[in-house]
Amino acid sequence: MATTQLERPASAIRTTSLERGTFLTTDLAAARRLFEEGLDLECVRYAPDALYVRERGHRPGEPLAGAPYLVLDVREVPSIANPQAMLNHWGVFVASQSDVDRAYAILVENKERYGLRKVQKPRAAHGAYSFYFEDADSNWWEVEHRILKRQYETLRKIGDVV
């Protein structure tokens, strides 16, 4: 029988937010074009070989306004030493299934412009409607609409079941 709450020691750190992960590219300008035009993300270049990326909506008056945070720390490197597999992907959420279909159509139409290697067709799986695509640097992305948002909320409430 699964337990819903495991006894755990007190955390060593009191984390207030998960802020970023590192993302590699061989062409910062091309990656930025994909982020801003293709994925509607906000970019800030803070060094010749680096930029920060986050979702839009953190300026005063925008729906997500509040303490700013940055999710991706993008670094330009001469080559990608460890190409990624699809299961190691970054994800962006959209509001509806039709938004997934629209994003798919736009990325397929602009596959060459964004240097995309592969764009898979949308499908329903694991409580979501989504599609995956691979960028020029072998980074995989998922554009997703969660059909069963409650499923994820319920899993968080239940906790570990294994």
Q: Would you say residue 1 lies in a domain?
A: no
Q: Are residues 152 and 101 in the same domain?
A: yes
d(CA 51, CA 28): 8
**What CATH number has the domain bearing residue 49?**
3.30.1900
CA 88 to chain centre: 11
Instruction: Give the pLDDT confidence score for residue 98 in this predicted structure.
Output: 94
Beta bridge partners of 125: 128
Domain boundary among 77, 96, 111: 77
Domain boundary among 51, 77, 103: 77
**65: burial class by Cβ within 10 Å (0-12, 13-18, 19+)?**
exposed
Summarised one tens digit per residue, pLDDT across range 94-151 is 888 999 999 999 999 999 999 999 999 999 988 889 999 999 999 999 999 987 666 6
Q: Are residues 94 and 162 in the same domain?
A: yes
Q: Are residues 118 and 158 in the same domain?
A: yes
Domain count for the chain: 2
Instruction: Give the pLDDT confidence score for residue 3 in this predicted structure.
Output: 47
CA 43 to chain centre: 14
Indicate if the pLDDT at residue 1 is higher than 60: no
Q: Would you say residue 9 lies in a domain?
A: no
**What CATH number has the domain bearing residue 130?**
3.10.180.10
Q: Would you say residue 13 lies in a domain?
A: no
Indicate if the pLDDT at residue 155 is higher than 80: no
pTM confidence score:
0.79
Element at 155 (helix H, strand E)? helix 149-158
Q: Are residues 65 and 89 in the same domain?
A: no
Q: Are residues 92 and 71 in the same domain?
A: no
Q: Are residues 94 and 57 in the same domain?
A: no
Q: Are residues 103 and 34 in the same domain?
A: no
Instruction: Give the pLDDT confidence score for residue 138 in this predicted structure.
Output: 95
Q: Are residues 44 and 114 in the same domain?
A: no
